[in-house]
Amino acid sequence: MLNRGSGRGKTWALRSDGGALAPATIVPRMMRLYHREHAGRPIRVAWMLEELGEPYEITMMTREEGKGEEHRARHPLGRVPVLEDEDGFVFESAAICLHLADLHPDAALAPAPGTHERALLYQWTIFAPAELEPPLIEAAVHAQRDPERAASARRRFDEAAGAVSSALDGSDYLVGGRFTVADVLVGSTLAFTERIGFADELPANLRDYLARLAQRPARQRALERTASG
Ligand SMILES: N[C@@H](CCC(=O)N[C@@H](CS)C(=O)NCC(=O)O)C(=O)O
């Protein structure tokens, strides 16, 4: 028999065998990452989980499963990533990564709340999906069928990437001179340029930044675990 409770730090399962109550074992519930074949964003969450050493499982869905009713109960638009933790489901990759950093303050992947560095962490973590990603995707999607629209999106992406390049001037990482959640979000977004063939045209310090991030063992493990062929 398995009795469950819930709440961060409270999830537990008490096992008993054959009616006789065995010594109670606390079994923390493992986090679960919902991923979909060929999806590019779930790597961000896996990367954070690997950086933090947090054990997790992955549910890999097909495109159809991602749009099915079961997954829409986790994400109303049927998208990934979704993280399931002890308290329920969370979607939006930036929100999930910030939440994970908060659960592991000792890992120091986010500066203390209320500090200017924390504000900069929010700034760059949100800049990635708000300013970098939309023109990058627009430029890629319209490259063949609407080159004019693609070129205009590309100019907007270049300007946003230029802002990251300036912020990195003389620093290896975006916030406080050390690796944080902001690098996971900005780095994984800039890494889309490798998939769509823009990477060679990035400013030199962004190419170095991507190479530096690519060397992180946690990122390499995350790539292996989220690979969908
Ligand atoms: N802003 C969301 C975007 C999520 C998203 O669009 N994910 C893609 C996969 S990388 C997806 O699920 N697409 C399926 C769809 O749009 O129907 C996030 O960062 O989590």
Give pLDDT tens digits for 59-105. 999 999 999 999 999 999 999 999 999 899 999 999 999 999 999 99
Q: How far is ligand 1, taken at its centre, from the CA of residue 57, in Å?
A: 19
Q: How far is ligand 1, taken at its centre, from the CA of residue 219, in Å?
A: 20
b vs e for 54-66, b when ≥16 Cβ sit within 10 Å of the residue's Cβ?
eebebebbeeeeb
Q: What global pTM score does this model have?
A: 0.90
Distance, in Å, from the CA atom of 132 to the CA atom of 190, rounded to the nearest integer, reads: 8
Describe the chain by its helix, strand, coil percentages, rounded to 5. Answer: 50, 15, 35
State if residue 160 touches ligand 1 by the CB under 6 angstroms criterion: no
From the alpha carbon of 63, which atom of ligand 1 is closest? 14
State if residue 184 touches ligand 1 by the CB under 6 angstroms criterion: no
Q: Give me the tens of pLDDT residue by residue for the chain, a chain 229 residues long.
A: 333 334 454 444 444 444 455 556 666 789 999 999 999 999 999 999 999 999 999 999 999 999 999 999 999 999 999 999 989 999 999 999 999 999 999 999 999 999 999 999 999 999 999 999 999 999 999 999 999 999 999 999 999 999 999 999 999 999 999 999 999 999 999 999 999 888 999 999 999 999 999 999 999 999 999 997 5
> Is 116-220 in CATH node 3.30.450.40?
no
State if residue 41 touches ligand 1 by the CB under 6 angstroms criterion: yes
* SS3 state at 141: helix
From the alpha carbon of 80, which atom of ligand 1 is closest? 12
Q: How far is ligand 1, taken at its centre, from the CA of residue 92, in Å?
A: 8
State if residue 225 touches ligand 1 by the CB under 6 angstroms criterion: no
From the alpha carbon of 94, which atom of ligand 1 is closest? 19
State if residue 203 touches ligand 1 by the CB under 6 angstroms criterion: no
